[in-house]
Structure 1
Amino acid sequence: MAQRWWQELPPAAGAFVMATGIVSIGLHLTGYEVLSWIWLTIACVVWALLAIDFVTRFVRDRPRWTSEADTPPALTAVAATTVLGTRISLLGWQAVAALLLVVAAVEWPVLLTTVLRHWHRRMPGAVFLVCVSTQGVAVLSATLAIALDLDRLLYVALVFFTLGLCLYLAAFAYFDVGQVWTGAGDHWVATGALAISALAGAKLVAAHRWTGVTQDVLRVTTLIVLGLNLFGYAVLLLAEAVRPRRKYDIRRWATVFPLGMTSVAAFSTGAAIDAAGLRLLGRLLLVIAVGAWLLTVVALLTDRTTFAPNRAR
């Protein structure tokens, strides 16, 4: 049985690492170190299992790897790696974080170009993973740039930040807006992409390496993106209240991730521009994210199809 469910893990499983990793970051930023370590440990273990599975499929089952690599959920491999790398950098383990950045940077162009070649109209929320994965590289690059005092990495982060915003607009053109009411969970990535974009902007602002117009543009852009993120968060929350989707689906981890990322984005933006209100908002939203993570774990463990084959990808 263990071998069966292991072989059937879909690319969307990477969203679990993204959700768990960002909750760990939020708990660290708000001072809950013990809890943060628990979430980090879980994220690291699952990331390692998925990484082994990723490589095994590439080597032994290339047709399946290829068929999955052209779907947006494949980009969770990049996003999960960058989220985990960011948390590890906050521990002071910069060499490990740098290695994860290299891994993500190698995966990103391969998976991104493959996914983009297979875009079509009326796609689910996973389409926004093109933005999330790109901004993930921006966040980790900026985090390492600050930690290691490497200005060159800041320019890399700025390039990925700008590209990520462009990819968001492109993804929105292909997004099926009706998913707001009918999506199984990954429709939340529409606002999660804005959240990680705001976090990338906050990291760039916090670096204090920019002056004049560049710094002003970064601050304004970050606040606009965060505002859109919070607006999207409210709209999706209302849609969930009006039309609850109670059945467990692996894509629900793509809901937990935006909840956690919005919390971290608000808190980090507040810290970057010295806005106490945003830091408080980040703390409050973290409570929702942790609660959603716990509820989703319970749903996962009590769902009869958890270890069954042919789960949603």
Structure 2
Amino acid sequence: MGRTRRNERAWRDEVTPAAGACVMATGIISVGLYLTGHTILSEIFLAVACVLWVVLAADFVDLLARDRSRWTAAAVTPPALTAVAATTVVGTRFSLLGRQGVAIALLLIAVLVWPGLLLAVVRHWLRHGMPGGVFLVCVATQGLAVLASTLSLAGKGDWLGDAALACFALGLLLYADALRRFDFRQVWTGAGDQWVAGGALAISALAASKLTASPLYTGTGHAFLRNLTYVLLALALAWYAVLAAAEAARPRPSYDVRRWATVFPLGMTAVATLSTGAVTDVPWLRTLGRVLLWVAVAVWGLVWVGFAWARAGGPRGAPQTRPFSDPGAPPQTPLLKRRRG
């Protein structure tokens, strides 16, 4: 019993905010499987995402109670926003499942957490040279837009559609600001979170497709949103191609917790493509979305294998030493610390 408690305590000490990308990745694949008609498999992925969400939420509260200084240090880094993004992704899947009450509750949680984390992150980030996690300011904000628009389409209030539009616009502004701070060398050297540069555009495209499907916007507004959806999706696919080429040219096979931030953009690009194809009635986009979805599922499985191998003592990526904020900020710790002795 004592050994079990020590192992549990060690596990909690190893978890960082970046681990929230695991929930995001699993949840968005669940959405994609639902959109392609794989209902049972989609619900299995949803169950896994929910378990992971509860575990990480418990760790979040536990760390706040045990070590407030460490919690504060983590809360000012962009990966902290995975808490918001993960909650909105799971909420979106519950809305598609017809569980609107659960989806609304998750939206409320995300809305309560989002402003404080966003302001803390923005106040502490660098002017330039930041890793891909910087784009999480956009991802978290667009996650709110996606969940709010999904609930609006489910008949839970037109005001949610208006709120989604506001979050969508803010998300695009945050993306532009993040882009000028991003270190483009990360495309070749990043440990996985460089993919968020494309994933942020993919979730923006998904939000735009949801707004395009809304009956609130007709005529010129509808045409503008539809064309903007195409542009955002094209840019997301372009990022996908560039990042995939960089991975092929410079393979990085070792496990790193930031690899979950690779899986999420892969899944999000697939879902955005599927949603755009459905809303705009473009069959080849739906076909492409299906192909991209199974790529995401395969990479999701590979990352879990890497996680298990790392836990068993296999090789893993180097610890992240570059701070997300000011030069004096404490570096992030990887999910799995190397054992001593």
Shorter-chain TM range is over 0.9
Look up the match of 1:139: 146
Supply the distance in 2 between the matched residues of 1:211 and 1:89 (Cα, whole angstroms).
Answer: 24
Look up the match of 2:338: none
Residue pair 2:28, 2:271 contacting (<8 A) in 1 also:
yes
Q: CA deviation at 1:281?
A: 0.7
Supply the distance in 2 between the matched residues of 1:224 and 1:35 (Cα, whole angstroms).
Answer: 31
Look up the match of 1:285: 292
* Partner amino acid, structure 1, of 2:225: L
Matches for 1:35-184 after TM superposition, within 5 Å: 35-120=41-126, 121-184=128-191
Look up the match of 1:226: 233
Q: CA deviation at 1:113?
A: 0.2
What is the TM-score normalised by the length of structure 1? 0.97
Moved more, 80-89 or 4-13: 4-13
Residue pair 2:14, 2:334 contacting (<8 A) in 1 also:
no
Supply the distance in 2 between the matched residues of 1:60 and 1:212 (Cα, whole angstroms).
Answer: 55
Supply the distance in 1 between the matched residues of 2:217 and 2:117 (Cα, whole angstroms).
Answer: 32
Unaligned 5+ runs, structure 1: none
Q: Deviations over 1:219-269 (max 9, x none)?
A: 111110000000000000000000000000000000000000000000001
Q: Among 252, 257, 263, which residue is 2:270 paired with? A: 263
Supply the distance in 2 between the matched residues of 1:32 and 1:272 (Cα, whole angstroms).
Answer: 19
Supply the distance in 1 between the matched residues of 2:61 and 2:8 (Cα, whole angstroms).
Answer: 18
Supply the distance in 2 between the matched residues of 1:214 and 1:206 (Cα, whole angstroms).
Answer: 11
* Partner amino acid, structure 2, of 1:78: V
Supply the distance in 2 between the matched residues of 1:267 and 1:250 (Cα, whole angstroms).
Answer: 27
Q: Deviations over 1:172-221 (max 9, x none)?
A: 01000000000000000000000000000000111132112211111111
Question: More helix by proportion, 1 or 2?
Answer: 1
Q: Deviations over 1:99-158 (max 9, x none)?
A: 000000011100000000011020000000000000000000000011124110000000
Aligned length: 312
Unaligned 5+ runs, structure 2: 1-6, 320-331, 336-341
Q: CA deviation at 1:311?
A: 4.1
* Partner amino acid, structure 2, of 1:269: T
Moved more, 198-207 or 60-69: 60-69
* Partner amino acid, structure 1, of 2:144: V
Identical amino acids, percent of aligned pairs: 58
SS of 2:154 mapped into structure 1: helix
Q: Which has the larger radius of gyration?
A: 2
